[in-house]
Amino acid sequence: MKNIIYLIFWLIACSPCLSQKVNINKTILWEKGIGNYNNYRIPSIITSKKGTLLAFCEARESGDTGDIDVLMKRSTDNGITWSDESIVWSDGENTCGNPTPVIDHQTGRIWLFLTWNHGDDNETQIIHKKSKFPRLPYLSFSDDDGLTWSEPKNINDSCRNPSWGWYATGPGVGIQIKKGKFKGRLVIPSNHSYDDINGEIRNGPFNYGAHVLFSDNNGSSWEISDSIFPGCNESQIVELENGDLMMNMRSYNNQFSRAYSVSNDGGYSWSKIKHDYQLVESKCQASILNYGMFNKKNMYLFSNPAVPIGRTNMTIKTSFDNCKTWINSKVIHSGPSAYSCLTKLPNGNIGIFYEGGKTSAYEKMIFISFKPDALFSDSSF
- Sequence-distant (6+) residues with CB within 8 A of 321 are none
pLDDT given at position 62: 84
Higher pLDDT, 377 or 269: 269
What is the Cα–Cα distance from 356 to 365, expressed in whole angstroms? 6
Residue 280 has pLDDT above 80, yes or no: yes
Mean pLDDT score across all residues of the chain: 94
CA distance 62 to 211: 29
What confidence category does residue 380 fall into, taking pLDDT thresholds of 50, 70 and 90?
confident
Averaged pLDDT for residues 175-195: 97
- Residue 59 is predicted with a pLDDT of 98
Distances (CA, A) of 136 to 170, 204, 221: 14, 21, 17
Mean of the pLDDT values across residues 279-289? 97
The model carries a pTM of 0.93
- Kindly tell me if the per-residue pLDDT of 329 is higher than 90: yes
- What confidence score (pLDDT) does residue 247 get? 98
The verdict on whether omega for the bond into residue 308 sits within 30 degrees of 0, i.e. cis, is: no
- The residues spanned by each domain of the chain are 22-376
Residue-wise pLDDT tens digits, 57-116: 999 988 899 999 999 999 999 999 999 999 999 999 999 999 999 999 999 999 999 999
Topology at the third CATH level for domain 22-376: Neuraminidase (2.120.10)
Q: What is the pLDDT of residues 364-378, one digit of tens each?
A: 999 999 999 999 998
Residue by residue, DSSP assigns 38-84 as SEEEEEEEEE-TTS-EEEEEEEESSSSSSSEEEEEEEESSTTSS-PP
| Adjacent-strand bridge partners of 190 | 169, 211
Residue from 262, 222, 226 nearest 242 by CA: 262
pLDDT band (50, 70, 90) for residue 196 = very high
CA distance 253 to 264: 24
pLDDT tens digits, residue range 112-169? 999 999 999 999 999 999 999 999 999 999 999 999 999 999 999 999 999 999 999 9
Q: What is the pLDDT of residue 286?
A: 98
Average pLDDT over residues 300-325: 97
Whether the Cβ atoms of residue 160 and residue 137 lie closer than 8 Å to each other? yes
One-letter identity of residue 144 = D
Q: Is the pLDDT of residue 244 over 80?
A: yes
